[in-house]
Structure 1
Amino acid sequence: MKVLELLLLAGLATAKAVLPPNERSEQAPTPTTLVKGQYWIRAVASPNFHNVVSGQLVEYTGEGAAPLYMHVEKPADFTQRTLKTWFNTTQNDFGTFVFQGDALTWSAPEVKRQNLAAWLVCEGKALFVNTGAYAYQTPAGCADQTIHYYNDATAND
């Protein structure tokens, strides 16, 4: 599998922050020019969002800075409707991120999902793995999204 390095749009954390699932910090400014060898990540519809290196969703935090890795909540009940995500300086140990075409997917053997590319973008820029049917019983304050990469030289809407 080819290693892809990506640039995260609308970073959910600053470069130095290590955030547990229920905390947020101010986000770093979103760059407007693509760094060579990176990809932008975005949702199909507003609000825009989100990154893969060997099964890890990685935020490029700048030249010489340590990357951040997206983590996915490992629930006690694998039928849980939404799984929280957050960034940390350590690699994610639950599930695998993969691109299918240009769509970002996440899967884990324990979690049965109808659509591996289904995500929930919620108030406060919170991103969740959607384990339910896409666009069915979407939680209040959330929007069903699919997330894709593009490699234009500059950020666009």
Structure 2
Amino acid sequence: MVKSVAVIGAGLALAGAALAQETAPTYGQCGGNGWTGPTTCPANWRCVYSNAWYSQCLPGSPASTTVAPTTTYTSGGGTTIIAPPLPGSTATQPAGAVPTLVPGWNFIRAVTAPNFHKYLQSETPGSVSDAVLGEANTAAQFQITNGQLIQSVSPGGSVLYAVVEPRSSSSVTRLKVSWSKTPDTLGTFKFSGDTVEWSSSTISRPQSNAWLICADSAGNKDVYINLGAYGYQTPSGCNDHTIHGFTGTTPD
């Protein structure tokens, strides 16, 4: 009889352990790309999205914040990207509205005059077009993944890649940046702190964080890689800038 009670007790303990494993601990991981552990948080705790790889149980009502949905994209080069769909197209927002940043993504902006707090985006919002700096209400959202600068596009959560035009000759001092459905093959983007840099094994430049913003005939602020010295011999109609990631809730 004692043996039977012990067996039953052991069975109940195992069942309790199995049930416990279905709930993540407080402040523990509850989601993310490749996560196979529990995805439910304790009572009065919620699973909060941090980035594509990590969500965490934090205090609060589960109804107030949920794990952001993700969409997986595989590029032509085999690179897998996890992108949260954005909550509506920037092209169709009410007048004056500004986008809300999705956790794990960044706004990118200039921080000096004459383009202070102008934000990186597509010339035609959310589309394959030139890379430009524009207003806060059309600010796009970005990640840098595997050397690619990626723009999240609504609706549907698809992505665009920043691509740099090839250098036609050694006399060319700037390279135009645009958005494409296929990845860039010329160089590599990265964040250094919050500063966006670009480098290429085939192109030498004195400063990897040097950009030019040049007005086109329609007044758009086109984005270029600056191959020359920052602040020296700036092409006519252009301004020298660095551009920076910003993770505030909304652009300001």
Which range, TM-score by smaller chain? 0.7 to 0.9
In the alignment, structure 1 segments of 5+ residues that lack a partner are 6-26
Quick check: 1:120 aligned with 2:120?
no
Bigger relative contact order (CA 8 A; separation at least 6): 1
Q: Note if contact 1:78-1:110 (Cα within 8 Å) is conserved in structure 2.
A: no
Q: CA deviation at 1:35?
A: 1.3
Q: Which letter maps to 2:193?
A: G
Q: Does 1:80 align with 2:172?
A: yes
Please give the per-residue CA displacement for 1:101-126, whole angstroms capped at 9, x wherever unaligned.
11000000111111100000111221
The partner residue of 2:103 within 14, 18, 36 is 36
Q: Distance in 2 between matches of 1:140 and 1:63?
A: 38
Distance 2:100 2:200 in 1: 33
Worse overlay, 44-53 or 108-117: 44-53
Does residue 49 (structure 1) correspond to residue 145 (structure 2)? The answer is no
Report the 3-state secondary structure (helix = DSSP H, G, I; strand = E; otherwise coil) of the residue aligned with 2:207. Answer: coil
Structure-1 residue corresponding to 2:8: none
The farther-off stretch of 110-119 and 43-52 is 43-52
Other structure's SS at 1:94 match? coil
2:200 corresponds to which residue? 108
> Whole-Å Cα distance in 2 between the matches of residues 133 and 83 of structure 1?
14
User: Larger strand proportion, structure 1 or 2?
Assistant: 2
8 Å CA contact 1:84, 1:129 repeated in 2:
yes
Q: Report how far residue 79 of structure 1 moved.
A: 4.7
Q: Give 3-state SS (helix, strand or coil) of 2:208's partner.
A: coil
CA contact (8 A) 1:56 1:91 kept: yes
Identity of aligned residues (%): 37
Residue 236 of structure 2 is aligned with which of 108, 124, 140? 140
Partner of 1:8: none
* Structure 1 residue ranges (4+ consecutive) displaced by more than 3 angstroms after TM superposition: 27-31
- Alpha-carbon separation, structure 1, partners of 2:203 and 2:98: 34
Q: Between Structure 1 and Structure 2, which shows a larger proportion of helix residues?
A: 2
Q: Distance in 1 between matches of 2:210 and 2:250?
A: 26
Q: Alignment length, in residue pairs? A: 132
Amino acid at match of 2:154: G
Q: Is the 8 A contact 2:107 2:119 kept in 1?
A: no
Tell whether the 8 Å contact from 1:78 to 1:111 is kept in structure 2 after alignment. Answer: no
**Structure 2 length normalisation: TM-score?**
0.49
AA aligned to 2:108 is I
Tell me if structure 2 keeps the 8 A contact 1:114–1:133. Answer: yes
Alignment-derived partner of residue 249 in structure 2: 153
Structure 2 gap segments, 5+ residues each = 1-50, 53-89, 121-141
